[in-house]
Amino acid sequence: MEIFKTIAALQNHLQNQNSRKPVGLVPTMGALHNGHLSLIKTAKAQAATVVCSIFVNPTQFTDAGDLEKYPRPVETDIQKLEQAGCHILFMPEVTEMYPQKEHWHLDIGEIENRLEGEFRPGHYQGVMQIVYKLFVAVKPDLAFFGQKDFQQIRVIEKMVELKNLPIKLVTCPIIREADGLAMSSRNIYLNDAERKHALILSWALLQLKKSFVKEASEKLRQEAIEMITVEPQVKLEYLEIVNMDDLNRDISNPEKGIIALVAAKVGQTRLIDNMILS
């Protein structure tokens, strides 16, 4: 696996690999787990050259303390990527991606302000800012994202559309632990008791999926909320049932699909999850 820390070196290498198209990009913030590695596996099946980026992006954090404590097990991440057969790791410093102060704002409409956007204002502007920079640097043909960050995928799709980028986005399924907990880099913050309490999120979503009837969606949503709120150390931020297109609560159009998304703090750790209902 080749490792690059500058855009110039990365682009020079990729330009000399013209025969190895298409190029697939897996953007990450590191602290890799099997969910990330499943993206690498899918990328290898669809792309001749797989680039994984590791960059803890400061502009998408709304809490400076959260940015500071975000896990950065670099050597372990490199070993995992090598074992997964990743071809290229792009691991820039902050000064490489943000050499000077810049203003970024892209109007993508109401989807930015719903759900995660309500609790983390400005977060998706930071996400779009860095993903656009990575797209410009790597010029991938395909980019791979996990379903766990479902709203993020819709936001990036909107950015790709508005920026007219020739990139195909590929959504990969959520990878879960054996007990159902969605894999996340933040799971390492959970102590044993908190981890057990965190299982209520996936359990409530699963029960919602099993019993889901569109006509009774609000009643079922409230039942799922009650399941979560009685669990110790779990503070629910939202559980919403929305259409899969623009994440609006209008689920009347069956062609758009229906998804339930949840976010909660378990102890001091914020977790998100989702499940497709229809």
Residues acting as catalytic residues: 36
The alpha helices in 139-191, defined as continuous H runs, are 150-163
The tokens describing 206, both together, are 């699963």
Provide the b/e sequence for 232-250 (b: ≥16 CB within 10 Å). Answer: ebbebbebbbbbbeebeee
The tokens describing 177, both together, are 């632990």
Contacts of 140 (CB under 8 A, 6+ apart): 22, 23, 24, 25, 47, 51, 167
Q: Dihedral (C-alpha) 208, 209, 212, 218: value to the nearest 10 degrees? A: 40
Provide the b/e sequence for 23-53 (b: ≥16 CB within 10 Å). Answer: bbbbbbbbbbbebbbbbbbbbbeebebbbbb
**Distance (Å, whole) CA 26 – CA 85:** 13
**Distance (Å, whole) CA 161 – CA 196:** 41
Count CA within 13 A, CB hemisphere, residue 209.
15
